[in-house]
Amino acid sequence: MDLPDAIHSLLRRSLLALLAVILLGCGLAFYTPARAQAMSLPEAPAQHAGEQAQAAELALSAWSRSELDAWWAALRAMDGAADKRGGLPAHLQPPEDPKAWATVALPDLSGRGASAGGIKAEPAVQMRWYRFRYAPEQGRWPTSVALYMPRLVSMAAAVLVRSNEGWQPIFDNQAGAREQWVRPLWVVFPAALTELRQHQMIDVVVAVPVATGAAFSVSTAWLGAREDVETRFQRRWWLQIGVPQATGLTLIALGLFSLSLWVRRRDEPAFLLFAILSAAWWVRNLHYHLELPRKALGLEWFWWLTNASMSWVMLLIFLFALRFAHRRFELLERCMVGFVLISGLLTLPWWNEVLGSSLLQHGANALVGTLAVLFVMRLAWSEGSRELRMIALSLMLSLLLGMHDLTLLAGAAWPEHIYLMPYATLLTLASFLYAVQRRYTGALSEVELLNRQLGERLQLQSTELQAQYERLREAERQQALLIERQRLMQDMHDGLGSSLLSAMVAVEQGSMDQDKVVEVLRECVDDLRLVIDSLEPVAHDLVALLATMRYRLGKRLQAGGLMLEWDVQDLPLLEWLEPPDALHVLRLMQEALSNVLKHARATRVRMVTRNHSRYVEIRVEDDGDGFDIATAQMGRGLKSQQRRALRLGGSLRIDSSLGHGTRLSLRLPVSREEAPGQQKPS
């Protein structure tokens, strides 16, 4: 599998896995156990351990802030003390009067039962005592007993158990009060306490302090053997805490990956938007990853940051979705940016108490988000983009989940549900992965189509070029044949033809004897052989060319009484040596040897070659009579030799003196560079 197929497979598998997690999480979030039973009242028989309490006895106490602080201080003082008897002052304990207790159904939401107990004045703090009564199954308590409540929204709660010495605190949540609203309550009873209560019922009170006017939520409760109850707690913890934490870390990883893609592809702003979106969404869910600040001011700024980041998440999702549309809506995008900036400024902790709460901010976000989602859906169905339609559908589902969380945050309904916006993160992420996958596979398809079209065009052009090349080769071959034919005709006309014509005229006139005719014919045959030899491939080897000439003229020289001395050394290959050049060299050497044979009256002729690095030298030396260079007239033969040497790009030199023979030296360059505009001589 190549790299594009591997990326495609990874995106598809990630999308399927995210959808599976979403469906599983939503199903478990709304799951209600079928075996839930009603909580017992004092007049009714106690339920056994491990059952769900859907009712409790409620008593209310009106406390001042100082009394609440004294309550928390007393709990801290008793934490870890060996002897807890008499630790709580009487006025800070649950009411003893049976008339102070009334039945309340669970879950108990904000405002319900606030008038119970005959409280007239509005206190600073209302302590809500929820009492449960359980009996051990078959008269014996399990080794380890635990209490589990899915949700408890209030100030720091505590759990008390009535013992023989009075109410004894077994759990104090002051350390985790800041996270209590989003974390399930889990309390493990001391083993010694349950051992002392064997074959007896046990009274458990959950103390829930609520500030005046503040919302609260008390869910149903589970009490029983730890191994039975802990499974429910762990499942709740995973759905409420584990999934958001895993989602946040996944978003950060995908955001970094998207940022790396944007660094490579700056023309794709969707990658940058997704990277910023993942960071903003991680900030929104920061309370799932970090311990909340201890100081009140730090806590206010922390909640402002996480709440304001939700507006940025909404904006970035909207901008990202519009990147898959065919048009740009710059005015709408600017209005959205302006709304986010203004809402962030108006909800600063400095004046938040005057302008409203975070609930109002989330409500404004929900209103603007609804309008934005409707716009994206209308745009997606009008343009027909599958990517945009999938994003619009996920945004609609995310909006519904956000409305659910807003209702839950306001305490209006569903008190035992979990917050579903982390699952909305998975929905949006799945739609984004689908859109990126579609864009990626679409880009691959376009590239493949372009490559296929380009290949077809290249094949067509290659075929045309091949045909043109064949036509050009044929034209060059015909031209070369024409040039070679013209050259041969010229050579035969100037050399062989002229000699044959002169001999024919002389024979017709009777002015040439038979021996002279034979000699002329022999020269014509030698000249014809040289022309034929020049056409043979010599592979740019000058030595091989001279060896061929030696073979052709050896018998003629021997018949003329000349002894040929062969002093030929190896020479470098001459890349420019072609058949026309070879013919010039052969004619030069032939004419030099013919002059020695006819005019020099020599007995010995010597052929010499030497390599001088930049040029090579060919010398023809004889021991004949010689002549005086100064007084000798340059005939047609000598001028012809000079012209041939120039055509070869070399030079010709003749040294001779009376009585000392003659030496002809031809120097040829190893590398011949033609000047611009100069044509190669023929």
What is the DSSP code string of 392-406?
HHHHHHHHHHHHHHH
Q: Of the candidates 371, 382, 374, 270, which has an alpha carbon nearest to the alpha carbon of residue 326?
A: 382
d(CA 401, CA 399): 5
Structure confidence at residue 353 (pLDDT): 54
d(CA 61, CA 257): 55
User: Rounded to whole angstroms, what are the CA distances from 2 to 7, 8, 9, 11, 141?
Assistant: 9, 10, 11, 15, 63
Strands 125-135 and 158-163: unpaired
- The answer to whether 435 touches 390, Cβ cutoff 8 Å, is yes
Residues of the chain scoring pLDDT < 70: 1-50, 80-87, 111-123, 136-141, 192-200, 351-359, 384, 480-481, 484-499, 501-503, 506, 509-512, 514-515, 519, 523, 526, 529-539, 632-637, 673-682
- The answer to whether 239 touches 426, Cβ cutoff 8 Å, is no
Using alpha carbons only, what angle is made at residue 511 by residues 508 and 512, rounded to the nearest 5 degrees?
Answer: 90
CA quadruple 363, 365, 369, 371: dihedral, nearest 10: 70
Give residue for tokens 């073979």: 551
- The answer to whether 71 touches 93, Cβ cutoff 8 Å, is no
List, edge to edge, every strand of the sheet that includes 152-153. 108-109, 217-218, 152-153
d(CA 568, CA 551): 14
Other Cβ atoms closer than 10 A to 40: 21
Q: Of the candidates 52, 63, 78, 65, which has an alpha carbon nearest to the alpha carbon of residue 161?
A: 78
d(CA 535, CA 530): 9
Residues 6+ apart with CB under 8 A from 250: 429
Structure confidence at residue 80 (pLDDT): 60
- The answer to whether 201 touches 134, Cβ cutoff 8 Å, is yes
Structure confidence at residue 48 (pLDDT): 44
Other Cβ atoms closer than 10 A to 110: 18
Structure confidence at residue 38 (pLDDT): 28
Amino acid, single-letter form, for residue 613: S
37: DSSP letter: B
Please state the φ and ψ torsions of residue 185, each to the nearest 5 degrees. -85, 130
- The answer to whether 514 touches 562, Cβ cutoff 8 Å, is no
291: DSSP letter: P
d(CA 645, CA 566): 22
Instruction: For 35-123, list the strands marked E by DSSP.
Output: 47-48, 51-53, 55-63, 102-105, 108-109
User: Rounded to whole angstroms, what are the CA distances from 591 to 386, 641, 656?
Assistant: 90, 8, 16
d(CA 626, CA 596): 10
Strands 145-149 and 217-218: unpaired
d(CA 448, CA 444): 6
Considering only CA atoms, give the Rg of the chain.
55
Structure confidence at residue 325 (pLDDT): 79
- Name the token pair of 318: 């909207």
Structure confidence at residue 593 (pLDDT): 85
Q: How many helices (H) and strands (E) does the chain have?
A: 17, 19
Structure confidence at residue 608 (pLDDT): 92
User: Rounded to whole angstroms, what are the CA distances from 577 to 435, 539, 585?
Assistant: 68, 8, 10
Q: What is the 3-state composition of the chain as percent helix, strand, coil, each rounded to the nearest 5?
A: 55, 15, 30
